[in-house]
Chain A
Amino acid sequence: MLGLRRYQVFLSYGILLSAIWYAAIQNKSILIKHVTSSMNYFQQKEQQHLTDEYDNNDNSNNIIASEHMMTVLVLLLIDYFPLVVVASLGIHALCSISIGILTLKDSEEASLELERSVVEAKEYLTGRGLKL
């Protein structure tokens, strides 16, 4: 694309991802705060639509539970970022290869047609004096 060799492209992606990972690890608490606060925001909006006629005493528990889960997920993502990347690549590879295998068309007719044509060819050639 930019006249870069392929290994240089991969290297730059690696450096970029490593930089992102380093920044994420350094700022774990801030990131989690942002994620949970945005989660809170969406949750509250949803709760307002759903439970207008009920009281809101139970909602705080729900919010805390899903906050906790999100926190765990984000922590896992940050701590094991390279593993997540490799695993995603692996899953992508498995899916692409499986789709490729399933769509690779098996053509029996081509094989039969070839055998017929070979017979036709041999007849013609021996008729013209070729010693097969």
Chain B
Amino acid sequence: MKYSIILPTYNERENLPIMLYFLDKAFSTIISSSKSSSSSSSSFIQSSSCSKPSEKSTISYEVVIVDDASPDNTLEMAQQLQTLYGKEKVIIVSRSGKLGLGTAYIAGLKASHGDRIILMDADLSHDPKYISKMIDLMNSSSQKYDIVSGTRYKRGGGVAGWDLKRKITSQGANYLAQFLLNPGKGCSDLTGSFRLYERHAIERLLPLIRCKGYAFQMEILVRAKAMQMAVGEIPIVFVDRIYGLSKLGANEILLYLKGLIQLFLTT
């Protein structure tokens, strides 16, 4: 089972190597814990004399870095990391300019070889330690999930570095989206961008997405529910290092509302 982590980057020269270090560490834990559990289970199986191939023990990962010609030369850092971790683990997609998140994901998806895709932020706001919990939920036999989403708003989740104004904005936006779209189970955090997808799910969804900005992530979940996909969620903590409302201008808000109305009329 190969996992592809697609990281669209723009001016992430400083964060990218740390991101790779965290991902490598997280997956080493996942791989070693699955090896120990499968070896203990296989010895039990041998004693009960039935054979079962342990397909879960061959877990591997790759990181697909999609760089939109960052002026701070993130590409050069990505190449250094490719030398360090190997061409198997680090794949680079270099694009000619800032072409948008949707096309970055599509380009990354095309260059990836994984069976499951993880989309997350490259600015260290998402902690890769939650990936193992997402994988556990997706592997659970009780329910076949197509998407496992990280939610900040459920018990066990949270944020770091948000002032009251930011919290009001985020809760207000979430309430509005829930009221208008009523997406259902697994969608408590519609604008969250830390998710694990089955390959077939994200391949079907990405070409359909038209919204830009925060509504982009919302549209993925809403369209997935409209297609009867099963969405699970695990609580995550989001660490906002870009303090203040500098990232959340009036333009972003308008874009979000526009996307919301678009979804209201088409789903």
- Interface assignment of A122: CB less than 8 Å from any CB of chain B: yes
- Please tell me which one of the listed residues B84, B157, B239 contacts residue A105 in the complex, with CB atoms under 8 A apart: B157
Query: B239 to A110, Cβ gap below 8 A?
Result: yes
Query: B171 to A104, Cβ gap below 8 A?
Result: yes
Instruction: Give the nearest-CB partner of A128 in chain B.
Output: B84
The smallest beta-carbon distance between B210 and chain A, in angstroms, is 15
The smallest beta-carbon distance between A75 and chain B, in angstroms, is 30
Name 10 A/B residue pairs within 8 A (Cβ), A-sorted.
Answer: A5-B266, A6-B181, A6-B263, A6-B265, A6-B267, A96-B175, A107-B158, A111-B161, A114-B241, A125-B18
Pairs A-B, 8 closest by C-beta atoms: A105-B158, A100-B171, A121-B21, A111-B160, A121-B18, A107-B158, A110-B237, A110-B160
- Interface assignment of B127: CB less than 8 Å from any CB of chain A: yes
- Interface assignment of A73: CB less than 8 Å from any CB of chain B: no
Query: B159 to A130, Cβ gap below 8 A?
Result: no
Give complex CA distance A131, B13 in Å: 11
- Interface assignment of B22: CB less than 8 Å from any CB of chain A: yes
- Please tell me which one of the listed residues B22, B153, B157, B263 contacts residue A100 in the complex, with CB atoms under 8 A apart: B153
Number of B interface residues at 8 Å Cβ cutoff, please give it.
Answer: 38
Give complex CA distance A107, B239 in Å: 8
Residues of B within 8 A of A110 (CB): 127, 158, 160, 237, 239
Residues of A within 8 A of B124 (CB): 114, 118
Instruction: Give the nearest-CB partner of B171 in chain A.
Output: A100
Query: B239 to A111, Cβ gap below 8 A?
Result: yes
Residues of A within 8 A of B264 (CB): 6-7
The smallest beta-carbon distance between A129 and chain B, in angstroms, is 8
Query: A97 to B172, Cβ gap below 8 A?
Result: yes
- Interface assignment of B17: CB less than 8 Å from any CB of chain A: yes
- Please tell me which one of the listed residues A104, A122, A130, A131 contacts residue B158 in the complex, with CB atoms under 8 A apart: A104
Give complex CA distance A7, B157 in Å: 32
Query: B17 to A121, Cβ gap below 8 A?
Result: yes
Give complex CA distance A104, B241 in Å: 17
- Interface assignment of B167: CB less than 8 Å from any CB of chain A: yes
Query: B159 to A100, Cβ gap below 8 A?
Result: no
| Chain B interface residues toward A at CB < 8 A | 14, 17-18, 21-22, 80-81, 84, 124, 127, 152-153, 157-162, 164, 167-168, 170-172, 174-175, 179-182, 237, 239, 241, 263-267
- Interface assignment of A106: CB less than 8 Å from any CB of chain B: yes
Query: Given contacts A6-B267, A121-B17, are A107 and B175 in contact (CB under 8 A)?
Result: no
Binary B-proximity of A100-125 (CB < 8 A = 1, otherwise 0)? 11001111101100100110011011
Instruction: Give the nearest-CB partner of B174 in chain A.
Output: A100
Query: A107 to B160, Cβ gap below 8 A?
Result: yes
Residues of A within 8 A of B157 (CB): 105
Give complex CA distance A63, B264 in Å: 49
Query: B18 to A118, Cβ gap below 8 A?
Result: yes
- Please tell me which one of the listed residues B17, B160, B180 contacts residue A108 in the complex, with CB atoms under 8 A apart: B160
- Please tell me which one of the listed residues A104, A124, A125 contacts residue B159 in the complex, with CB atoms under 8 A apart: A104
Give complex CA distance A96, B171 in Å: 9
Query: A6 to B179, Cβ gap below 8 A?
Result: no
Query: A97 to B21, Cβ gap below 8 A?
Result: no
The smallest beta-carbon distance between A88 and chain B, in angstroms, is 13
Residues of B within 8 A of A121 (CB): 17-18, 21-22
Residues of B within 8 A of A7 (CB): 264-265
Give complex CA distance A125, B127 in Å: 18
Query: A6 to B182, Cβ gap below 8 A?
Result: yes
